[in-house]
Amino acid sequence: MSVIAKQIQSIKTAIVSKKSEITLMGKDIKLKPGVAIFATMNPIYLKRAKLTENIKSCFRTITVSMPEYETILEVLLHGMKLYNTRELAEKIGGTFATLAIQLGKDQQYDFGLRAMKILINKIGKRKIDGDNDYEIVGKAFYDVFLNRLKENDKIIF
């Protein structure tokens, strides 16, 4: 992992020096203005790997107690050129909150950002079908979640 830490440090140094190009592993790489590096760790996620100390030292630690799901959803939906993104984001966020309350006790279920990203990717694939936005979101929910639910939980969905 020390190779990664060295590369991150090289990128950080180039950013601070306002360089437009950097050489990593023998390749010249252009740095776009505003480039940044983020490492996101979810302490609740059971299978997470811990960062080594040399990689941790490359980052500033911040804590987010609760992500703004609806804002994140709205931005992602807007990027897909959907209409009524605020309303769709509220409906999707509300559905996720309800599912998390009703089904969240079971460890096999994940209704966090990872699951939202999977749903957003499915919405993007379904966007090609030409349905209206509400139909696309509804079908994507079924595609993503219906096969993951236990038989007795499907009635809630």
Q: Are residues 92 and 145 part of one domain? A: yes
Asked whether residue 92 is assigned to any structural domain, the reply reads yes
Q: Are residues 85 and 52 part of one domain? A: no
More confident residue, 88 or 44: 88
Among 120, 122, 100, CA closest to 109: 100
Q: Are residues 89 and 26 part of one domain? A: no
* Poorest-pLDDT segment among 10-19, 29-38, 40-49: 40-49
Q: Are residues 119 and 43 part of one domain? A: no
Domain holding 128, by residue range, is 69-153
Q: What is the pLDDT of residue 157?
A: 64
Q: What is the pLDDT of residue 104?
A: 59
Question: Which band of pLDDT confidence, cut at 50, 70 and 90, is reported for residue 129?
Answer: low
Q: Are residues 73 and 13 part of one domain? A: no
**Structure confidence by residue, pLDDT tens digits, 62-84:** 777 777 889 989 988 988 888 88
- Spatial distance between the Cα atoms of 76 and 95, rounded to a whole number of angstroms: 17
Asked whether residue 63 is assigned to any structural domain, the reply reads no
Asked whether residue 104 is assigned to any structural domain, the reply reads yes
Q: Report the predicted TM-score, pTM, of the whole model to 2 decimal places.
A: 0.58
- Spatial distance between the Cα atoms of 150 and 152, rounded to a whole number of angstroms: 6
Question: Which band of pLDDT confidence, cut at 50, 70 and 90, is reported for residue 28?
Answer: very high
Domain holding 79: CATH number? 1.10.8.710
H-run or E-run covering 93: helix 85-103
Q: Are residues 77 and 24 part of one domain? A: no
The structural domain count of the chain equals 2
Q: Are residues 12 and 84 part of one domain? A: no
Tell whether the model's pLDDT for residue 113 goes beyond 60: yes
For residues 27-47, average pLDDT: 77
Q: Are residues 136 and 98 part of one domain? A: yes
